Amino acid sequence: MADVKGYLTTHVLDTSLGLPAADLQIELYALTGDSRRHIRTVKTNSDGRTDGPILPCEEFKLGVYELVFLTEGYLKRTAPAQATPFFLADIPIRFGINDLDAHYHVPLLLSPYGYSTYRGS
């Protein structure tokens, strides 16, 4: 097999504050049929990014994945006046990887009452 050049990254921005979402926990899972396998847990840094790829080249494989952004802890710190339970506690984003040489970037734009995502670069 040729050397894989692809990798997975993310960037979380808090649109309600206009700031990167720091110290937000993210879980990565690989999905196969009804099976869900945990790959790793990471946290965002002060720039709202992880310190390295969530899925680096050496672990990058074709398939279906899920990033789960655990937003409740972050929102408790940044939006403490919000009533509980929070409207958004976890945000799962399911996506497919079909090119082993591509950079997959899955950003999250977050606020206490909504979010959006897209395939970034």
Instruction: Show the tokens assigned to 76.
Output: 């408790």
Beta bridge partners of 113: none
Nearest CA to 69 among 119, 18, 19, 10? 10
Q: Work out whether strand 7-9 and strand 103-105 pair parallel, antiparallel, or are unpaired.
A: parallel
Question: Is 80 part of a structural domain of the chain?
Answer: yes
Please report the pLDDT score of residue 51 as a whole number. Answer: 97
Question: Is 50 part of a structural domain of the chain?
Answer: yes
Please report the pLDDT score of residue 84 as a whole number. Answer: 83
Question: Is 98 part of a structural domain of the chain?
Answer: yes
Q: 84-108 burial, b if ≥16 CB within 10 A, otherwise e?
A: eebebeebebeeebeeeeeebebbb
Confidence label for 24 from pLDDT (cuts 50, 70 and 90): very high
Confidence label for 4 from pLDDT (cuts 50, 70 and 90): confident
Report the CATH number that the domain containing residue 22 is assigned in CATH: 2.60.40.180
What residue has token string 């509980």? 84
Question: Is 22 part of a structural domain of the chain?
Answer: yes
Confidence label for 1 from pLDDT (cuts 50, 70 and 90): very low
First to last CA, the chain: 25
Instruction: Judge whether residue 2 has pLDDT over 80.
Output: no
pLDDT in tens, 57-112: 999 999 999 999 999 999 999 987 888 888 888 999 999 999 999 999 999 999 99
Question: Is 34 part of a structural domain of the chain?
Answer: yes
H/E run at residue 77: helix 71-78
Omega within 30 of 0 (cis) for the link into 85 = yes
Domain interval for residue 68 = 7-112
Pairwise pLDDT comparison (1 vs 54), residue with the higher score? 54
Question: How many domains is the chain partitioned into structurally?
Answer: 1
Confidence label for 3 from pLDDT (cuts 50, 70 and 90): confident
Please report the pLDDT score of residue 52 as a whole number. Answer: 96
